[in-house]
Chain A
Amino acid sequence: MSTANSQSAPISHTILSLPDQSTARMPKRSYLNNEDGLLSWLLTGDHKRIAILYLISITFFFFIGGAFAGLIRLELLTPQPDLVSADTYNKFFTMHGIIMVFLFLVPSVPATLGNFLIPIMLGAKDLAFPKINLLSWYLYLIGGTLTLAALVLGGVDTGWTFTTPLSTHYLNTHVLTAATAIFIAGFSSIFTGLNFIVTIHRMRCPGMTWFRMPLFVWSHYAASLLMVLGTPVLAIALVLVALERIAGIGVFDPAKGGDPLLFQHLFWFYSHPAVYIMILPGMGVISEVISTFSRKRVFGYTAVAFSSVAIALFGFFVWEHHMFIMGVSNYSALVFSLLTMLVAVPSAIKIFNWTFTLQKGSITFETPMLYAFGFMGLFTIGGLTGVFLGSLGMDIHLTETYFIVAHFHFVMVGGMLMAFLAGVHFWWPKMTGRMYPESLSKLAAVTTFIGFNLTFLPQFILGYLGMPRRYHAYPPEFQVLNVLSTAGATVLGIGYMLPLLYLGWSLKYGAIAGNNPWQATGLEWQIQSPPITPNFIETPIMDHEAYDYEWLANQTKHEVTTVG
C-alpha cells in the first residue's frame, strides 16, 4: 500500500480541476493566429483549421436538425393533429433525420476532433492529404447547402432512408435535390476516411507502433474502414434512385420486374455500418476521457483496440436486420439475427474494459467525465435494446414503433452526442487554449442527461405499447408519456444550448489552459495549446506505451511554448 502510494504521489499531486493559472500563458504564435484573414481559413491546408471549420458547420446543422426535433415533439404534445398536416409532419422527421444523420452524426467526431487530433496523436505534421481534407469540407458544405435548398424549396418526405418505391414513384417532393446532397456529402466522408487510413498507416512518428497508438486513433481507423468501404455503396444506391425517378428505368419498380428490396439491401449495406461510423469515433473519445480522469491505462488496451476493428468487421454483415419485416427469407433472417447479436460482444468488451479502467482509479468528475459516464449508461441501454430488436420475434412486434426510435436515439444521442460533447469539452483547452467554465458545464452535462432520459425512456414504453413511429397523431391514452417526452426534449434543448453559449464565452474570457490542463498522457497534451501550425517543433519520438502516467509523472522536459 505504502509503495503504491509513494509511486502515485506525484501523479495524484497533479490532479487539478483547473491548470495552474499563475504560470499558464497564452502562446504568441499558434495555428489560430499564424495567418490572418478569411481566405487564410477558407484555403487552409492545416488540419486543425479545417477541424474548426467543420466544427462550426456541423454545429450549425445540428441546431437546424434539432429545431426539427423540437417541432416533431411539439406536434406530438397532443393526440390530435393540430400543429401541422400529415405531409408537413413527414417533412419534419425526414429533414430531422437527413440533417442529423448525414450532416451531423457521420462527420461529428471524425471531421472535427479526429481531424484535429489524429495527426497530433501520431506525431505527424498534418494529415496525409491536406488538400483532399479541405476538399472534403467543401463537399460537405455543398451537400449541406443542397440539403438546405431542398428544405427551403419545400422539403422532402421520404424519411431519411429514401425508401423505394415511395421515393421513386409516389412522392412529388425534392427527393432528387436531397439525394444529390447526400451523394456529395458522402464523398466528403469517403475522403475523410481515406485520409485517416493513409495517415494512420504511413505518418506515424518514430516509435509509434500500432499498439502504442491512442485508442482514439484505433477507433477512427475502424470507422474509416467503414466510411471507405460502405459509403460508395450508398452513392450507387442514390444514383439508382435518381435514375429511376428521372427515367423510370424500372430497377426498383415491381411493375417492370424491378425489386424494391434491392434498394434496401444497397442502402442498408451502407447505412447499418454507418451507425458504427457514427458511434466508433465516440467510443474513441470515451477511452481517452475515462483513462485521463481515472489516471489509469485503459484496462485491456489490446482488447479495446481489436474490438473496434471487430465492430467494423461484424458491422458489415448485419444489414438485413433492418429488413426482417420486408419479406426476406426466413433462413437468412435467422443468420442475420445471430450476426446482429454477435456485434454485442465487441461492444460489451468496450463497456466492461472501461468499467475495469475505473476500478481503483483516481476518479475525478470533470465535465468530460460526466458526459463519459452518461455515454456508458445510455449506450449500454441503447445497445441492449438493440439485442431485443435483433431477435426475430421481438423485432416483428417492436420495429416501426417508438421502441426503435428510442433505441437508436439512445445509441446516437445518448451515446454519440454525449461522446461528442465529452470530446469537445475535453479538447477545448487544446483547440482554443482556454478553459470552459467548469461548474456551468457540469450543470449542462447533468441537464443533458436528465433531459435525455425524460425524452426517450417514455418512448420505449410507448413503442412497447404499440405506438407506431412516423405518425403525427396518436390515440389519447398515449398522451401522458408523450407529454413527458416533449418536456424532456425541452430540457434537452436547454442542455444543448448551454455549451454553445459558454463555450463561445470562454473563447474570450475563459481561463488560460496551459499545455496540459488534465495531466493527460497523449502526445497532443505535450505540445502548446493551441498548437503551432506544424504541431511539433521537433518530430516526437514515442518511447513509452499509450496512457503511461508514470512516464508523464517523470517527464521533466516539455515542449516549450512559443511565448517569447
Chain B
Amino acid sequence: MDSAITNTEHAIHAEHEHASLPQHRHHFETEEQQREVGTFGMWLFLLTEIMFFGGLFFAYLLYRNWYYPAFAVASNQLSVPLGAFNTVMLISSGFCMAVGVWAAEVRKKNLLVLMLILTTFFGLVFIGVKGVEYHEKYENHHIPGADFSVAQFVNPAAYGIKEQPLSPDMAQHTEIYFFLYFAMTGMHAVHMIIGIVLLFWLIRRANRGDFSSGYVAPIENFGLYWHFVDIVWLFLFPLLYLINRHPLH
C-alpha cells in the first residue's frame, strides 16, 4: 500500500517536472513526444485528404480520356492569365507561410504576425479571383445543372469564339468537364476558406504571444495543411486550364 502511494506521488511529481509549458498535455511523457504526435497526425490527415481528392482526380482521368475534344474546348473557356495570377498568389501565400514557420521557430513575434497576415491576404485574393471566374461561368451558362447550355460549343461562331464547333453529342460532355472544374476547384476553395478561418485564429494567438516561447506546433502543422492546399492547386491548374495548350498542336 505504502509503495503505491509513493509511486503515485512520484508519478505526479514526474508529471510536474515535464509540464514546463502550459500547452503540455498530461497524457504525453515528454513535450518532444507531444510535438511528434501532432506532426504525425497532421501528415496522416493530409494522406486522407489526398485520398479524398484522389477520387476526383480519378474521375477526371477517366472522362478526360473518353471525351478529350470536349475537355480541350471547354478548357479554352478558362482564363489562363487569371489562373496563372492565382497560381502566383498561392505560391506567394505559401512562401509567406514558410517564412512564418521559420519566424515562429526563431521566436520573432512581429515577423510571424506579419507573415500570417500576408498569407491570409494572398489567400483572400485567390478566393476573390476565383469568385470572378465563377461569376463568368455563371453568365455563360457553364455551371452544370438545369441552366447549363452547350450553345457556345456547338455554334462558337455565333458567340464570336474562334474554335472548331463540336458535334452536339460531344458538346454535351463539356458539362462533365465543367462539373469536374467546379467540383475540384470548389473543393479546393472550401479547403482555402477553412484555412483562412484558421489563419485568423492563429493571427490572434500569435499576436497574443502564444507562439513566442518555443511552442510552435500549431503554426508548423497549419503550415503543412496550407502547403498541401497549395500543392493541390499546382495539380489543378495544368489539369484544368492547360489542356491542349502545348505548342505541338
Contact = CB atoms under 8 A, between A and B. Distances in A.
A262 B59 contact: yes
A258 B45 contact: no
B124 interface: no
A560 B51 contact: no
B29 to A, nearest CB: 7
A562 interface: yes
Contacts of A203: 28, 33, 37
B176 A256 contact: yes
B41 A233 contact: no
B7 A537 contact: yes
A128 B37 contact: yes
A262 B62 contact: yes
B52 A235 contact: yes
Given A233-B55, A237-B55, A257 B176 contact: yes
Contacts of A259: 62-63, 66
A125 B26 contact: yes
Contacts of B172: 256-257
Given A125-B27, A257-B172, A232 B41 contact: no
B229 to A, nearest CB: 15
Contacts of B193: none
A320 interface: no
Nearest to A236: B55
A229 interface: yes
Given A126-B27, A190-B48, A257-B66, A538 B41 contact: no
Q: Max chain B CB contacts within 10 Å: which of A128, A235, A265?
A: A128
A119 to B, nearest CB: 8
Nearest to A47: B27
A190 B46 CA distance: 12
Interface stretch (A61-69, A243-251, A457-465): A243-251
Contacts of B28: 203
A211 to B, nearest CB: 21
Interface string A175-208: 0000000000000001000110110011100000
A347 interface: no
A203 B3 CA distance: 26
Contacts of A249: 144-145, 175-176, 179
A266 B27 contact: no
A251 to B, nearest CB: 6
Most buried by A among B10, B11, B25, B59: B59
Interface residues of B, number: 44
A257 B54 CA distance: 21
Interface in B17-37: 25-29, 33, 36-37
Contacts of B175: 249-250, 256-257
B67 interface: yes
A251 B11 contact: no
A534 interface: yes
A248 B145 contact: yes
Interface string A223-242: 00000111111011101100
Interface residues of A, number: 47
A539 interface: yes
B41 A229 contact: no
B92 to A, nearest CB: 29
B158 interface: no
Contacts of A538: 7, 10-11
A253 B78 CA distance: 25
B31 to A, nearest CB: 13
Interface in B41-85: 41, 44-45, 47-49, 51-56, 58-59, 62-63, 66-67
Given A124-B27, A537-B8, A229 B176 contact: no
A130 interface: yes
A257 B144 contact: no
Interface in A521-564: 534, 537-539, 559-560, 562, 564
Contacts of B146: 247-248
B194 interface: no
A129 interface: yes
Contacts of A228: 44, 47-48, 51
A538 B8 CA distance: 7
A125 B34 CA distance: 13
Nearest to A119: B27
Interface in B175-216: 175-176, 179-180, 183
Nearest to A243: B183
B248 interface: no
A228 B45 CA distance: 8
A2 B90 CA distance: 76
A143 B133 CA distance: 35
Contact of B11 (A197, A198, A256, A537): A537
Given A128-B37, A194-B45, A250 B27 contact: no
Contacts of B54: 232-233, 236
B109 interface: no
Contacts of A240: 55, 59, 183
A471 B237 CA distance: 48
Contacts of A125: 26-27
Contacts of A537: 4, 7-8, 11
Interface centre among B8, B25, B51 (most CB of A within 10 A): B51
Contacts of A201: 40
B144 A232 contact: no
A228 B40 CA distance: 13
B144 A247 contact: yes
- Of B10, B44, B175, most A-chain CB atoms within 10 Å: B44
A203 B55 CA distance: 32
B48 A265 contact: no
7 contacts: A125-B27, A230-B51, A248-B145, A250-B176, A257-B63, A257-B176, A538-B10
Interface of A: 124-126, 128-130, 132, 190, 194-195, 197-198, 201-203, 228-233, 235-237, 239-240, 243, 247-251, 256-259, 262, 265-266, 534, 537-539, 559-560, 562, 564
Considering the complex of A and B, which 4 residue pairs feature the smallest CB-CB distances, nearest first?
A236-B55, A232-B52, A560-B4, A126-B27
